[in-house]
Amino acid sequence: NNAKLRIAGFVHGTDGLGNQNFPPPKGKPIEQSAADFLIEQAKLHPGKVTVVALGPLTNIALAIQGDPEFSKNIGQIVLLGGAFLVNGNVNPASEANIFGDPDAADIVFTSGADVVAVGINVTHQVVFTDADREKLSRSDGKFAQYLCKILDVYFSYHHDAYNIKGVYLHDPATILAAVDPSLMTYTEGVVRVQTSGITKGLTILYNKQKR
């Protein structure tokens, strides 16, 4: 719904990978849209596909709008988004991914699909500390060195914005919820998203029940 693209270069670097200036990919983008791909895979494997969404929910909302059966066919949607009973990280009301396309988020939450939302009320409890990074930097592994380099900007942002000696592991915590949900506790209920006004992007949870 004409959501403005928001690039958080100040958090992740202008290239999204800590300003490491990696060469651009050589492959060409496929012609099929992300929404059509999701619809296709959900139809081919009904009830078996889990989508882990680590950004705004535009493509998933388009899949829901494009196929009335998508919400039934998809196994589960595990998303990084929302600030439940805590302040947001874009403004006091809103978390970044929901704020990026609140209309899409509300479509997803009200679709009837099995949705698990991992909000910043959870991810702010999962911290990779400066000491953890120092330990990682002593590794000779190429992947460890790669991670240390791309995390430079992310660590600097957290030091300045949150005054903490570490970074919040938003994406890994969300993936963890998909891979091993037993490691977290959950509150079941109905979620709606404020789509306009001063509280645009606010996530509201009703009917709280722990499970």
CATH of the domain at 92: 3.90.245.10
Whether residue 142 is contained in a domain is answered as no
- Whole-number Å distance between alpha carbons of 201 and 99: 4
pLDDT digits (tens, 9 = 90+) for 48-66: 999 999 999 999 999 999 9
Whether residue 50 is contained in a domain is answered as yes
- pLDDT-derived band at 6 (thresholds 50, 70, 90) equals confident
Whether residue 16 is contained in a domain is answered as no
Whether residue 59 is contained in a domain is answered as yes
pLDDT digits (tens, 9 = 90+) for 177-210: 999 999 999 999 999 999 999 999 999 999 755 5
Domain tally, the chain: 1
Average pLDDT, the chain: 94
Whether residue 45 is contained in a domain is answered as yes
- pLDDT-derived band at 94 (thresholds 50, 70, 90) equals very high
**Tokens 């006091």 label which residue?**
92
- pLDDT-derived band at 105 (thresholds 50, 70, 90) equals very high
Domain extent for 122: 30-126+169-210
User: Hey, which residues are catalytic here?
Assistant: 170
- Cα–Cα distance list, 201 to 37, 54, 144, 149 (Å): 27, 16, 35, 32
Helices 34-44 and 58-66, interaxial angle, to 10°? Answer: 60
Residue 112 has pLDDT above 90, yes or no: yes
What does R_g of the chain's alpha carbons equal in angstroms? 18
Specify the pLDDT at position 8. Answer: 82
